[in-house]
Amino acid sequence: MRRSVVVMLATAALGTVLVAGAQKQKAKSSSDYGLAGIPGGKTRVVDLSYAINDKLPAWPGDARTFEAKVNATPEKDGYFTRSFWMLEHYGTHMDAPAHFPGGKETLDQLPVQHLFGPAVVIDVREEAARDADYRLTAVRVEKWEALHGRVPSGAIVVLRTGWSARWPDQSSYRNMDAQGVMHFPGYSVPAARLLMSRGAVGLGIDTLSIDYGPSKEFEVHRVDLPAGLYNLENLAHTDQLPEAGAFLIAAPIKLEGGSGGAVRVFAILPQPR
């Protein structure tokens, strides 16, 4: 009888130790992602989105972009509300696959898991400073991989061109010549195909488009969107990201049937070791 009691007590004690160990391991895993440090400011979060108003650089031809109207005021109604209207592709926004022929998913149909992923930041500021029409090459992607390892599956790629330094000056940001052709950097089709082969789920950039300014056919859009990727355009504060190690959250407005829409993009920076 006593022996049974001893065995039972020992088993219970072992169970307590295992549960405590599991809880400790769970806490450790949470801190590895840095999420636990966000509320207290220990983990840095960078907002990669611009605030929306009616003065942002817009695509040529988009005369009407954003409008907001006050519906109620505290003085008159006891509370404050507005209504607003805006283009789907304005400010920091996401292109859904349905934006171009061949693409299927609309903004509300994107797989939720594709909105979270490791950030691959390719810094081409030097190249873009020399050539406003620079396009990311597959060789440049491989150079990144030589330094940081293979682009991970599920990655959200950010092309850092330095163009955000021109924001919000529309003339400088569009960089349009006398013939009305815009000049700013972008991706090339070979680079996009290589990133797609690695399993990237999204391509982002700090310019008006992932295709370079002079493009008339939107070649990269016609390659990555039909393959199920999405695009993030007009990203802000990309200069604050490391080339590897950050984690991105891209949370678009859940607009039913949307070809695109406003998106809030957050980068969770790796904790210093």
Q: Is the pLDDT of residue 4 over 60?
A: no
pLDDT tens for 6-62 read 334 344 443 443 344 434 333 333 345 578 889 988 899 999 999 999 999 999 999
In the residue annotation, 99 being an active-site residue is answered as: yes
Would you call 173 helix, strand, or coil by DSSP? helix
CB atoms within 10 A of CB 37: 16
Q: Which residues of 179-194 are buried (b: 16+ CB within 10 A; e: fewer)?
A: eeebebbbbbeebbbb
Q: CATH assignment of 47-58+88-268, given 3.50.30.50, 3.90.1300.10, 3.40.50.300, 3.40.50.450?
A: 3.50.30.50
- Residue 200 contacts residue 156 (beta carbons within 8 Å): yes
Q: pTM for the whole thing?
A: 0.87
- The per-residue pLDDT for range 237-271, each reduced to its tens digit, is 999 999 999 999 999 999 999 999 999 999 999 87
Nearest to 44 by CA among 261, 242, 259, 228: 242
In the chain, where the domains are located: 47-58+88-268
State pLDDT tens for residues 177-199.
999 999 999 999 999 999 999 99
**Which of 89, 93, 99, 221 is the catalytic position?**
99
147-156 pLDDT, tens per residue? 999 999 999 9
